[in-house]
Amino acid sequence: MTESSTAPDNAGAAASPTPNRAWQRMLSGRRLDLLNPSPVDVEIEDIAHGLSRVARWNGQTLGDWAFSVAQHCILVEELARRLKPNLKQDWCLAVLLHDAPEYVVGDLITPFKSAVGLDYKTLERRLMSAVFIRFGLPGELPPSVQRLIKRADAVAAYLEATQLAGFGAEEARRIFGRPRHFDTVAGDLTLQPWPPQDAKARYLARFAELAPAAAGTRV
Q: What structural domains and CATH numbers belong to the chain?
A: 38-210 (1.10.3210.10)
For the CA atoms of the chain, what is the radius of gyration?
Answer: 22
Across 4-25, average pLDDT: 55
Say whether pLDDT at 21 is over 80.
Answer: no
Query: pLDDT of 61-120, one tens digit each?
Result: 999 999 999 999 999 999 999 999 999 999 999 999 999 999 988 766 565 555 555 576
Give 162-201 pLDDT, tens digit per residue: 999 999 999 999 998 999 889 999 999 999 999 999 999 9
**42 vs 138: CA distance, rounded Å:** 15
Residues 6+ apart with CB under 8 A from 67: 55, 56, 57, 61, 160, 164, 191, 193
Burial 130-162 (b: 16+ CB within 10 A, else e): bbbbbbebeeebeeebeebbebbbbbbbbbbbb
Per-residue model confidence as pLDDT tens digits over 138-170: 999 999 999 999 999 999 999 999 999 999 999
- Comparing 36 with 16, the larger pLDDT belongs to 36
Of 81 and 29, more confident: 81
State which amino acid sits at residue 144. Answer: S
pLDDT, greater one: 67 or 12 = 67
User: Mean per-residue pLDDT for 9-26?
Assistant: 60
